[in-house]
Amino acid sequence: MVNIPYATQWIDEEDVKVVAEALKSDWLTQGPKVKEFEEKVAAYCGTKYAVALNSGTSALHAACFAAAIGKGDEVITSPITFVATANCVLYCGGKPVFADVCPDTINIDPEEISEKITARTKAIIPVHFAGNPSAMEEINKIAKENDLVVIEDACHALGAEYKGSKIGSCKYSDMTVLSFHAVKHITTGEGGVVLTNEKTYYDKLLLFRSHGITKENDLLLKNDEGAWYYEMQTIGFNYRLTDFQSALGINQLAKLDGFVKRRREIAKRYDEAFADLDKVVALLEKEGNKSSYHLYVIQVEDRRRVFDKLRGAGVLVNVHYIPVYWQPYYQKMGYRRGECPKAEAYYAQAITLSLYPKMADEDVLRVIDSVKEALKQD
């Protein structure tokens, strides 16, 4: 029997066509498609500005730069995320501080955030885990009271909604980061975006994406010396997305709502199939919110046995995530196990089931049957 992956992209003939067309155009790196992609992502999410970058990780790095995270600054984030969410703080010389999660959603708990705030706290990076929005209203309130920047890591949550507004709208945050890695809702191969409603952040993000260099007349610090003139005003990187990737992104974005609809359909099937199994706990979609189901996670008591049985049956399940501060690099820095007990208890039981828009109904059924079979003690 063929294996069922936990996630995979969906590239169709039209995607291939638009990339081929972009490759034959005059622009390979930064051309009109980048701008068009940025405008379309911003319009979809209901934000003023979007800056496209070459990965979600570089987008997180750029957002931390724009937020002026520097040496000694503390940034509070979730331990149940991909390492990049915390690493971007380290890139800027800051210190990630992990606040524990809510057991029903595995999103960062606002009360735990409040407990971790010190005089050095500069920002909060909530992660909308599995596509399920974090408690943004509460997080925004804490940020306002303590003068903190909020950067949403929405790499799981393109297409999700929080209290009637699209994730990415930045209604409750300063900036929002998306990823277009192959397993995410839409893909550009590698790629990412930072969304914001603030011009000052937007200008900094643009600088950072391209070596800290600007040619914009009204942003120049010195007199324009001629048509060749540009200024490097800060230290930046080459984090640019290409035009042909942007062409792919534009075509993928047009299919996003259909992708999310299919993801939600599959999640509903799983919800129904596991509802009467007291051995399986699924994450909760909060009333009034809409999850875009990047992941479908179950929690089972004998995780290792169930995981191995599923893999053995060709259902290539995964685990998201090992608490970030358990990683050897973080342990070497002095982080200790036991810091976030709820996150650790979740991790001990978590399994990510297969979920992707191209998934066939018969594969969904096979995953359900395999989970039920794996739960039987032998």
Residue 133 makes contact with ligand PLP by CB under 6 A: no
Choice between 181 and 366, CB closer to ligand PLP: 181
Residue 57 makes contact with ligand PLP by CB under 6 A: yes
Choice between 186 and 364, CB closer to ligand PLP: 186
Residue 107 makes contact with ligand PLP by CB under 6 A: no
Cis preceding linkage at 321, omega within 30: yes
Considering only 54-62, 243-251, 281-289, 359-367, which stretch makes contact with ligand PLP by CB under 6 A?
54-62
Locate 172 and state its tokens. 């409750």
Q: In this chain, which of 33, 61, 73, 85 binds ligand PLP, going by CB under 6 A?
A: 85
Residue 242 makes contact with ligand PLP by CB under 6 A: no
Choice between 97 and 241, CB closer to ligand PLP: 241
Q: In this chain, which of 41, 56, 135, 298 binds ligand PLP, going by CB under 6 A?
A: 56
Residue 309 makes contact with ligand PLP by CB under 6 A: no
Residue 247 makes contact with ligand PLP by CB under 6 A: no
Distance between CA 152 and CA 150 in Å, rounded? 6
Choice between 55 and 214, CB closer to ligand PLP: 55
Tell me how far, at minimum, the Cβ of 58 lies from ligand PLP, in Å: 7
**CA dist 242 → 13, 27, 195, 208 (Å):** 20, 9, 18, 16
Site string for ligand PLP, 190-219 (x = CB under 6 A): x-x---------------------------
Tell me how far, at minimum, the Cβ of 373 lies from ligand PLP, in Å: 30
Report whether 107 contacts 131 (CB < 8 A): no
Maximum pairwise Cα distance, the chain: 78
Q: What is the CA radius of gyration of the chain?
A: 21
* Phi, psi angle pair for 207, to nearest 5°: -60, -50
Q: Which residue is nearest to ligand PLP (CB)?
A: 56
Considering only 5-13, 50-58, 166-174, 352-360, which stretch makes contact with ligand PLP by CB under 6 A?
50-58
Distance between CA 122 and CA 114 in Å, rounded? 13
Residue 366 makes contact with ligand PLP by CB under 6 A: no
CB atoms within 10 A of CB 78: 31
Q: How many CA atoms lie within 13 A of 134 on its CB side?
A: 36
* 29 CB-near residues (< 8 Å, 6+ apart): 240, 242, 243
Locate 330 and state its tokens. 């973080």
Choice between 295 and 310, CB closer to ligand PLP: 295
For the chain, the straight-line distance linking the first and the last C-alpha, in angstroms and rounded, comes to 22
Given the structure tokens 């994450």, which residue do they identify?
Answer: 283
Residue 181 makes contact with ligand PLP by CB under 6 A: yes
Locate 48 and state its tokens. 């003023």
Question: Which of 306, 330, 331, 332 shows the shortest CA–CA distance to 319?
Answer: 306
Question: Which of 72, 45, 58, 367 shows the shortest CA–CA distance to 186?
Answer: 45
Considering only 42-50, 53-61, 159-167, 237-245, which stretch makes contact with ligand PLP by CB under 6 A?
53-61
CB atoms within 10 A of CB 333: 12
Residues 301, 306, 308, 314, CA torsion sign: negative
Q: In this chain, which of 55, 105, 173, 252 binds ligand PLP, going by CB under 6 A?
A: 55
Tell me how far, at minimum, the Cβ of 19 lies from ligand PLP, in Å: 18
Element (H, E) at 351: strand 350-353
Site string for ligand PLP, 141-180 (x = CB under 6 A): ------------x-xx----------------------x-
Considering only 23-31, 79-87, 93-101, 310-318, which stretch makes contact with ligand PLP by CB under 6 A?
79-87
Residue 127 makes contact with ligand PLP by CB under 6 A: yes
Residues that bind ligand PLP (CB under 6 A): 55-57, 81-82, 84-85, 127, 153, 155-156, 179, 181, 190, 192
